[in-house]
Amino acid sequence: MRKNILPHLALLATNLFFGINLSAIKHLVNNGFVQAFGLNLIRIGISSLLLWILFLLYPSKIRIKKNDIPRFILCSITGIVINQLLFVKGLSLTFSIHAVLLMLITPILITVFAAWVLKEKLTANKIVGLFLGVLGATILISSRTYSKTATNVLLGDTFIIINAIAYTVYFILVKPLMVTYRPIDVIRIIFTIGLFLALPFCWSEFKETKWELFGLTEWVLLGLVVIGGTFLAYLFNIYGIKKLGASIAGAYIYSQPAFGTIIAVFFLKENIELYKIIAAVFIFSGVYLANRKTIA
């Protein structure tokens, strides 16, 4: 019984971490403790270090094939550099609720892109699902609501959408690597390459981090972002997919907006407005249709 429930708890924890991430990142960045790219360097750097420590504790023999090196680099560019840098930057400019809903279009994009790349049949469900997802995203990015923590909603939402597209490309590129090598080894290599690629973009902002202003709250939130929302989230997600399969693991993404919204409302005092509810309905419907199997 315990073995059956552990992967479910891991996936639930993964999405809870992501939900916490939204409000924690906005608190740290929007209150001037650390800049967006500087925070990303901390996330990627510490996660890479922890992954290498894990490798030293549980070593494995891995020999990367020469023709797989370009794919590893592309995965690092899309899954670490573009994805993570634009996510944090976009989140700092828009509402947490916008970000968590826009991230939900990722499964729609994965389904449609996979059908295109793998030459699968693009069903009516997938096309309608994509349309509804785009409609929901359009409602969000066209809103004219602003606040002290959401100073440029249009630009922030745009960055989040580009982040979702980059992650979609990464997800498709990384699949063959996950089959050929151990998933934990793939993640470690991608993070390590991503660290060196992100360094030139992040170093100047990292140096501006105001460590002297950090109190207990900021250190706890930074730990949640780095350890929980990055390192453990990746490990737990891999574990959940391995034990339960990608389809069940993917279903847990529906819990992410709930966690993210509840935390943002109570911690950041964000409002749940009518247009956000309407957008959420369209996006949720789009995800459901895009991933619904056609019954013959």
Residue 247 neighbours by CB distance under 10 Å: 10
Token code pair at residue 65: 């094939």
Residue 99 neighbours by CB distance under 10 Å: 31
pLDDT of residue 147: 65
CA 55, 228, 101, 206 dihedral sign is negative
* Closest listed residue to residue 227, CA positions, set 19, 50, 36, 34: 50
CB 200 within 8 A of CB 31: no
Residues of the chain below pLDDT 70: 1-3, 114-122, 143-149, 245-248, 250, 290-296
CB 240 within 8 A of CB 7: yes
pLDDT of residue 117: 64
Chain Cα centroid distance, residue 234: 10
Whole-angstrom distance, CA of residue 204 vs CA of residue 18: 26
Whole-angstrom distance, CA of residue 160 vs CA of residue 166: 10
Whole-angstrom distance, CA of residue 106 vs CA of residue 110: 6
Residue 228 neighbours by CB distance under 10 Å: 20
Chain Cα centroid distance, residue 85: 11
pLDDT of residue 145: 67
Token code pair at residue 228: 């929980």
pLDDT of residue 188: 92
Q: At what angle do helices 83-93 and 36-57 cross, to 10 degrees?
A: 140
Whole-angstrom distance, CA of residue 132 vs CA of residue 177: 32
Tell me the average pLDDT of the chain.
82
State the DSSP string of 53-89.
HHHHHS-------GGGHHHHHHHHIIIIIIHHHHHHH
Whole-angstrom distance, CA of residue 105 vs CA of residue 284: 9
User: Please, which residues bridge with residue 277 across strands?
Assistant: none
Kindly list the distances between the CA atom of residue 183 and the CA atoms of 92, 179, 202, 241, in Å, as whole numbers in the listed order.
31, 8, 27, 10
pTM of the model: 0.82
Whole-angstrom distance, CA of residue 102 vs CA of residue 106: 8
pLDDT of residue 198: 93
Token code pair at residue 43: 């996330």
Whole-angstrom distance, CA of residue 185 vs CA of residue 118: 25
pLDDT digits (tens, 9 = 90+) for 104-126: 777 777 777 766 666 666 677 77
